[in-house]
Structure 1
């Protein structure tokens, strides 16, 4: 009885082993290579449950990945035209498109395939970069460079049953020995540009300042000229009026001037004056306070005249800068907000203000007793 149970158990175990060794499952992310005595008999790409001869002695199955795979290459030193070097990071995506070729030529091992991928990608990147100038590698030609790299390695890797889907360049940096030189060159270019802009600004500033200074000098000179003319005419009118007033009553004018002299000289300043009693200064001291006799003859009053100053008329001729050079076009400057800054156009002095004519003088009433 015990032997029978043992035999039945052995048969059941053998049946289970035979059953499970005769089936294999293909996932939707995988594909299977079926081999009989080492020779490929079938390739299963559709997901499902499949059967084969039990055990792996006759038929064996190798499961390979059917998803997109990625291979990275980092810190690759490539040379461009002109003996400049770059540090490049790149990667490519691929999938196993032909499992039969992949098994026959790469033994179905990803490590073998990736060794071939690395060599092909390295050679393709060096070839693509070597055909470019120094600045092209950092320009909008990157998309074209990635496409050229993919096309170069696609044919080679297709022999392994691999389909190269895409190649991407992640980073393109200057090599350490080139970076310092490039930085200094860029710095020199920026400094030269800044110096040029600064020189242009100083030139415009000096031009604007010179024009403003010239306008200021001309305006002040014109104002000074008008002021001197008005002051001279005013002094002339004052002297004329004083002379006419003196001519009206010379005796009274002498008395008035003497009184002014007394008030000025004999003020409480503590000053001691030693003069002769017959000095003309004391002429009116001995009059016992009597006023001089009023004059009965008066000179005719002065006629009312227009004392408005006569100023020189302005000319329409172009202004000169004092050196015999005519006015030139004034420079302008565009500010950061887009507004235009320009000097005042023209250098003519403003028109003088017309003085107000004085009101007619009222006639002087004759003194009492006249």
Structure 2
């Protein structure tokens, strides 16, 4: 008796376990019954908020979808401006799920990668169209914010047939095809949405931003080469001007040196002449007072100049007047007074 009771208890607990499910914070849950989204009487899908909920065990399954804002990084791509100039644009998109039932059906069971593929294709086409209306100056200045707003609104609301747009792109066709499939599976009587907007996928674009705008490699290399050539030309001009100024300064310095040396030499000659004149005057004044002493000094200088070398030879008589100051005083007086 205990064995059937235990089996029954296990079945009840297993059924209770299968009938309860938890939706985590930041998620929303949808219930699938035989693969179909469970809906209310007015054909609106049942969306379960975070918390503990119940379902029919073994028949219904729960799919939890991320309700938080997602960030999709776009690979840098080449775009053409109104001036037919190429730009490399790096951007990202902030998006979230606005209609969980549509999102689930459009992405094949809530596949984020499939949703981002469609969103990226639509975003790329729309951004290419908007950038084609602006020049480079407008893109990198104040028009960028308006550009981002227009792209976001176009993704959320779609474009009307009256807009000056190019024909439907492959992304528009893909989204329209998914929209028809969703409407067919949902069989919904809700108000229709624009078939080329992200709303048909249950997605809302929160923000669109351009991170970086750069030139293609071949264009930037050409610009850098031109800038380098311009800078080199300016450098050569400055160097030639500097060399010219250096030659002028060097010539002026050489002239100033020559003029200063000439003036110094002239002043030195004047000073030396004045000194020689003063010396001669002093000698004349001194020797005029004592002629005998002057004669004695002149003889001594003559002796010094005559006998300054061992190789000098002089042939003179002993009583020559040249040696008068080398004789004894008595001999000198005797010769002077016989």
Q: TM-score, normalised by structure 2?
A: 0.65
**Judging changes above 3 Å, is the alpha-carbon distance between structure 1 residues 144 and 242 closer, same or farther for their aligned structure 2 residues?**
farther
Distance in 2 of aligned mates of 1:89 and 1:11: 62
The more displaced of 257-266 and 154-163 is 154-163
Unaligned runs of 5+ in 1: 293-370
Alignment partners' CA distance in 2, 1:14 and 1:268? 147
Structure 1 equivalent of residue 53 of structure 2: 50
Q: Which is further off, 250-259 or 225-234?
A: 250-259
- Quote the Cα distance in structure 2 between the aligned partners of 1:280 and 1:136: 118
Distance 1:210 1:26, change over 3 A: same
Matches within 5 A, 1:109-128: 109=110, 110-127=112-129
Count residues in correspondence.
Answer: 287
Q: How far did residue 12 of structure 1 move?
A: 5.6
Pairing 1:188–2:229 present? yes
Do the aligned residues in 2 keep the contact of 1:84 with 1:178 (CA within 8 Å)? no
Answer whether contact 2:47 2:100 (CA < 8 A) is retained. Answer: no
Q: Which is further off, 20-29 or 198-207?
A: 198-207
Q: Tell me the equivalent position of 1:165.
A: 206
Aligned partner of 1:176 among 217, 222, 226:
217
For residues 263 and 9 of structure 1, do their structure 2 counterparts lie closer, same or farther at Cα, with a shift above 3 Å needed? closer
Residue of 202, 227, 231 corresponding to 2:268: 227
TM-superposed CA distance for 1:265, in Å, is 0.5
Distance 1:278 1:202, change over 3 A: same
Q: Is the 8 A contact 1:31 1:43 kept in 2?
A: no
Inter-partner Cα distance in structure 1 for 2:147 and 2:249:
53
Q: CA separation in 1, counterparts of 2:142 and 2:322?
A: 107
Contact 1:77 1:87 in 2 (8 A): yes
**Alignment match, 1:66:** 67
1:29 to 26, 30, 40: 26
Counterpart of 1:257 (choices 283, 298, 307) is: 298
1:198: Cα distance to partner? Answer: 3.8
- 1:323-334, aligned counterparts within 5 Å? none
Equivalent positions of 1:1-370 (< 5 A) are 15=12, 19-20=16-17, 22-34=19-31, 38=36, 40-41=39-40, 42-53=45-56, 55-56=58-59, 61-80=62-81, 83-103=84-104, 105-106=106-107, 108-109=109-110, 110-127=112-129, 129-130=131-132, 149-155=151-157, 156-199=197-240, 201-267=242-308, 269-275=310-316, 281-282=322-323
What TM-score does the superposition give when structure 1 sets the normalisation length? 0.60
Higher relative contact order (CA 8 A, sep 6+): 2
Map of 2:192 onto structure 1: none
Between the aligned partners of 2:232 and 2:98, the Cα distance in structure 1 is 56
Contact 1:64 1:108 in 2 (8 A): no
Cα distance between partner residues in 2 of 1:264 and 1:247: 24
Counterpart Cα distance in 2 of 1:15 and 1:282: 162
The answer to whether the 8 Å contact 2:96/2:206 transfers is yes
> What CA deviation, in whole Å up to 9, does each residue of 1:190-222 have, x standing for no partner?
333443454454455445545544444444444
In structure 1, what is the equivalent of residue 170 of structure 2? none
User: Tell me, what secondary structure is at the counterpart of 1:74?
Assistant: coil
The answer (yes or no) to whether the contact 2:28–2:48 under 8 Å persists in 1 is yes
Deviation at 1:31, TM superposition (A): 1.1
